[in-house]
Structure 1
Amino acid sequence: MKLALSIAFRFLSSSKAQTLLIILGIAIGVSVQVFIGSLIQGLQKDLVNTTIGNSSQVTITSNTPDRKIENWQEIQEKVESLQLPTPLTALSASADVPVFISSGDRTISVLLRGLQFPQANSIYGIDTRIIEGELPKTADEVLIGKDLKDELGLQKGGQITVITPDRSIETLKIVGVFDLKVASLNKSWLISSIATSQGVGKLGDSVTSIEMQVEEVFKADEDATAIASALADAKFDVTNWKAQNEDLLTGLNGQSVSSIMIQVFVIIAVSLGIASVLAITVVQKSRQIGILKAMGLKDSVSSQVFLFQGLTLGIIGAVVGIAFGFLLILMFSTFAVGPDGEPVVGIYVNYGFIMLSAFIAIGASTIAALVPARRSSKLSPVEVIRNG
């Protein structure tokens, strides 16, 4: 093995331009894998965070006519005690009541969302989305959205009158203004404590949903199935974001498939390039190999020479490729920015994926060397020396 390694290094150093060309090819392949993979993973994380990052990923609702969940504290305790496929990162109840706001000759339909604070902040981040005022602390206090405030000319500290579906009228105090960065929510949500919403909607001690977020968002359906099985109650529906966002999932899967296809073709191209160049090397070095065999070099050792060349080229090419990949990521993050100075797509650097790309490149380089390795083992020293 030591002899084969020494001969391999000698062959590589004797053809510096050819060696650098192979290393450059591997490096470009690895850098493309690292950059494209990181870019697509970052895009997927941005899409997921934008669509479901600040919303419920698993939700328990009631399918009874009144839509009430009466024993919600017991259900929360039961869910918390379950051994789920992926742990919960947030668990909160909410009491939602549709109401109307009368403003001049207009009647606006909004949703009064009674949230369980502070637990709800882990899902919606309401505490970080308040641009004026503070969270509701007592009954009859609400937050309003920035766009609704502007549309109706309301102010923090003022009052808002809402009409419930049963035509009762309630007056609520505005204690703050929020901005969820979604205009439709800023116009259609009023946020209060659960107690306020329960009083306005005459829900008693009931809520309308129990909302959760999970550690691994793509396993939310597994958690939903486990929770539904544990509750074993036909009057409860357990839904998950994947079932409600099939188009998004299709898009994410399409991105993943395209990323894999790009990487596969890059690996094939790199492997074919290595195999062809090393095959040429066998021809170029056939005389030396023939002489070495005549001096007692075994066929297995001659094969190892080219396997070690492939392995060495793969390792060096992978290291250089990772460096090129990080350079591409840095350039993209620096120059591909939006008006706010932030990158148009947040690239996600997954070191596990980068190491996997490196190992795949090394493995592909070594496997590509099998063809020339086998060819060298079949060289007859007598024929090589006779033919010059």
Structure 2
Amino acid sequence: MKLAFSIGMRFLKKSKVQTALIVIGIVIGVAVQVFVGSLIEGLQQSLVDGTIGSSPHITIVNSQDNEPFADNEALYEDLKEDERLTAVAKSFSKNGLVSLDEDNTKAVLLRSFEMSDADAIYSFEENLVEGVLPTETNEVIIGTNFSEANELTVGDTVNFIASTDKAEDLTVVGIFDLGVASLNESWVVSELATGQALFEEADRLTSIETQLDDVFAADTIAAEVNTQIEDANLVTTNWKEANESLLSGLTGQSISSYMIQVFVLVAVLLGIASVLAISAVQKSKQLGILKAMGIKDKTAGQIFLFQGFVLGTVGAVIGAGLGLGLMYGFSYFVKNADGSSLVPFYFDTQFVILSSVIAIVASTIAAFIPAKNSSRLNPMEVIQNG
């Protein structure tokens, strides 16, 4: 094997133009694979974060028109202990009215949580424009749109009227911007105890909301959570059920990415095979002499296999670096109107390594045909034909 490797390297060094062409082809192929794959994965990650990044992935609700249900502490603790869930929050949400003066009332949705849990899902603290999160009963935060439309600021008091006709003055302690106009216009957020007291539903919830580490496993995990729920009236919903069009788009992107990568790989493979085949013909006289000197057929074939492996390794390493460089440049220079990256830089170590390994294997396989032909060379015929 050492002899085959030594001869193969000598052939590569002697045919510098051919060697450079093969390496460039592999570099471009791997770079395109890494860039396209990383770009689409980054785009998918951006889309998922933008649509469901700050919303529950699995929600437990009452199947009876989402009516309140008894707070089940055992179920809550079981969910908190599930390592697949990154956040679990109890919620009590009901529609009501905010009375600003005698002639001005606004319909709102009062969303009540244990704020420390809910913040892991909705990032309320991160999205605060002004003020602080509610910590006491009858403290609320409101959205920027609602605040501006009704000229409300931190420290103001609003009168909330529940569907039970119970009214209570609530103090605005903060203003948030969740980036969604409909939420900024209609959500009034408080501690869990505030909502339960206003609607006279002590120790009852309207939902338990969770987020996952692997968002695409939401349907599978939701089915498993269903088996843990003892109350027959409670059911799980997941983000996939409400975002079928998004899932279709993500699937289409993934398929197009795989198709591009396959075609690029096939083109690179054919290019390597053709150039090495030509090299085998060019080196037939030398191979014939080597065989006449006693080199084995197996060793003659290994010469080109080693060439394919070395060329694939060099091209894969350089190509992976170039692909990541292109991805970084794209994320750095292509911006949204607000200055943020249109597609965030995405570096999946496993994907880059897999792309490189596939390129190396493909290069070695591409060398199989010239390797097989060289092992069949008859040294006497080669020498006689010149």
Shorter-chain TM range is: over 0.9
Aligned to 1:21: 21
Aligned to 2:71: 71
Q: What is the distance in 2 between the residues matched to 1:299 and 1:17?
A: 27
Deviation (angstroms), 1:103: 5.1
1:214 aligns with 2:212: yes
CA RMSD of aligned residues (A): 1.6
1:285 aligns with 2:264: no
Question: Do the aligned partners of 2:80 and 2:87 also contact (CA within 8 Å) in 1?
Answer: no
Deviation (angstroms), 1:81: 4.5
1:163 aligns with 2:161: yes
Deviation (angstroms), 1:365: 0.2
Q: What is the distance in 2 between the residues matched to 1:153 and 1:297?
A: 91
Aligned to 2:109, the other structure's residue is in SS state strand
Q: What is the distance in 2 between the residues matched to 1:279 and 1:186?
A: 66
Aligned to 1:41: 41
Question: Do the aligned partners of 1:72 and 1:207 also contact (CA within 8 Å) in 2?
Answer: no
Deviation (angstroms), 1:107: 4.3
Q: 1:97 aligns with which of 94, 98, 102?
A: 94
User: Could you tell me the TM-score, scaled by structure 1's length?
Assistant: 0.95
**1:326-380 deviation digits (Å, cap 9, x = unpaired):** 3212321332123333321112111111111110000000001111111111211
Deviation (angstroms), 1:57: 0.7
Q: What is the distance in 2 between the residues matched to 1:88 and 1:273?
A: 48
Aligned to 1:322: 320
Aligned to 1:184: 182
Q: What is the distance in 2 between the residues matched to 1:21 and 1:233?
A: 67
1:378 aligns with 2:379: no
Aligned to 2:264: 266
Aligned to 2:8: 8
Distance 1:309 1:66, change over 3 A: closer
* Matched AA of 2:71: N
Q: What is the distance in 2 between the residues matched to 1:6 and 1:302?
A: 12
1:256 aligns with 2:244: no
Question: Do the aligned partners of 1:72 and 1:93 also contact (CA within 8 Å) in 2?
Answer: no
Q: Which runs of 5+ in 1 are unaligned?
A: none
Q: How does 1:57-206 map to 2 (within 5 A)?
A: 57-64=57-64, 67-81=67-81, 87-102=84-99, 107-206=105-204
Q: What is the distance in 1 between the residues matched to 2:353 and 2:341?
A: 24
**1:145-166 deviation digits (Å, cap 9, x = unpaired):** 0010111111211111233234
Deviation (angstroms), 1:30: 0.6
User: Could you tell me the TM-score, scaled by structure 2's length?
Assistant: 0.96
1:344 aligns with 2:330: no
Q: What is the distance in 1 between the residues matched to 2:59 and 2:375?
A: 64
Q: What is the distance in 2 between the residues matched to 1:357 and 1:63?
A: 46
Q: Percent same amino acid among aligned pairs?
A: 48
Aligned to 2:205, the other structure's residue is in SS state coil
* Matched AA of 1:94: S
Aligned to 1:294: 292
Q: What is the distance in 2 between the residues matched to 1:387 and 1:77?
A: 83
Aligned to 2:204, the other structure's residue is in SS state coil
Question: Do the aligned partners of 1:41 and 1:347 also contact (CA within 8 Å) in 2?
Answer: no
**Mean CA deviation greater in 11-20 or 345-354:** 345-354
Q: What is the distance in 2 between the residues matched to 1:214 and 1:65?
A: 25
**Mean CA deviation greater in 38-47 or 58-67:** 58-67
* Matched AA of 1:286: S
Distance 1:372 1:141, change over 3 A: same
Question: Do the aligned partners of 1:72 and 1:210 also contact (CA within 8 Å) in 2?
Answer: no
Question: Do the aligned partners of 2:100 and 2:159 also contact (CA within 8 Å) in 1?
Answer: no
Q: May I ask how many residue pairs the two structures share in their alignment?
A: 385
Distance 1:136 1:311, change over 3 A: same
Question: Do the aligned partners of 2:89 and 2:209 also contact (CA within 8 Å) in 1?
Answer: yes
Aligned to 1:354: 352
Q: Which runs of 5+ in 2 are unaligned?
A: none
